[in-house]
Amino acid sequence: MSKKSKNLLRIYNRLKRGPVNIEVIKQRAKSHDLNISERTLYRYLDELEDIVQHNEKLIITEGEKNKKTWKIEYDESSAKLNEFDIQSYLLFKNLMPLPLVKSRKETFVRIENLFYKSYSKSNFEDFSIFADRQISNSYFYELLSLDGYQKILNDAIWSIQNKREMRLVEVGYDYTCIPQTVAYPIDFLPLQILYHRGVIHLSGIVKGKNKILAIALNQLKKYSLTNNMFDNRDLLAALRREMDNRFGITDNMNNEIYDIEIEFSELTGEFVKHHFWHHSQNFSKLSNGNYVMTLRCGINRELVGWIFQWMSNARVIKLQILQSLVKEKHLEILDNYESDMPLSSNNSFMNTEALDKN
């Protein structure tokens, strides 16, 4: 196979996964260490029509600033779904977050009507009845309801897809330790929809500041969309680096990264080690049967609260600052039971460091 044919096949295989533009193809070529000019890539894309299959049609559309998008449309009559495919859809629908289930009911009805019309010979209705009765979600830790949820989510997706700034005017209660130095309104560069612990967040960067925020959708009380465009390529890399340094998504209490060790009792450790908590996690078994978990990340409210979750089955071995925070919070909890004073909001993990003025 010639070099050109191999490159065309690479582009075709990527196109079969979804629409592409020239930036997507350039990035794919770069990831395969292919030194191909943009002009040549455009020529390859124009030649794709000669290699699409009989049940496929190459569609080219033009968007803003004459930017082209290439996609393959399929002859639906030739598509086949098997039992596993239908079960996968029903699992996805019945196990997805409650706010999405509630806000997209009509969409699910339309999809299932389409499935039934197209795949009635596959007994789709039997699988659907089974799913409604025997696939369950506790929805524990998830939002019950939210007025305007669908609009907020759609606006966030639009802003991310079109690389448009958002103007955040009013943000509700503190969910992820947003620094006190953030004063609204702010110009926000939305980068990603992030699902974490039952809540959908919008993550991005404060324009003109070196500060990443993860804001729950239900925190967005007042905002506006803009037509101000921004380049997200370097920002997405910065977002990934920052989130890698956090335990969960809560803002760290400072800008330090620590080597942390936590000991777990044998049975709890056996449970904890089989779950994902942080990309740096590592487990080793002690001679007494207990487990030691090592992490390299910042310290935040989410980490300390997570340690408390395991009650007397976990203790911090390293480092001293984390030990002290856990002990201090334990004493504060005891004080709440020994005092008649009303409970008050208390966040010891707020990052008060000033935003980068660059």
Give pLDDT, residue 36.
83
**Residue 283 backbone phi and psi in degrees, to 5:** -125, 140
* Chain centroid, CA 115 distance in Å: 28
Give pLDDT, residue 33.
76
pTM (two decimals): 0.75
Q: How far is CA 31 from CA 10, 19, 26, in A?
A: 12, 18, 9
Give pLDDT, residue 96.
85
DSSP state of 342: P
How many residues are given for the chain? Answer: 358
DSSP per position, 229-250? E---HHHHHHHHHHHHTSSTTS
Token pair of 9 as six digits:
């096949």
- Asked if 204 and 220 touch (Cβ cutoff 8 Å), the reply is no
The dihedral through the CA atoms of 142, 146, 150, 152 has a sign that is negative
Which residues, at least 6 apart from 135, have a Cβ–Cβ distance to it below 8 Å?
Answer: 90, 91, 94, 95
CA distance 276 to 257: 19
Give pLDDT, residue 196.
93
Give pLDDT, residue 12.
80
DSSP state of 181: T
**What tens-digit pLDDT sequence spans the chain (358 residues)?**
678 778 778 878 877 777 878 888 888 788 777 788 888 888 877 777 677 777 777 788 887 667 788 887 776 545 566 777 777 887 888 788 888 888 888 888 887 777 666 665 555 556 666 666 778 888 888 887 667 888 999 999 999 999 999 999 999 877 777 877 788 999 999 999 999 998 899 999 999 888 899 999 989 999 999 999 999 989 999 999 999 999 999 999 999 999 999 999 999 999 999 999 999 999 999 999 999 999 999 999 999 999 999 999 999 999 999 999 999 999 999 999 998 889 887 766 766 554 443 3
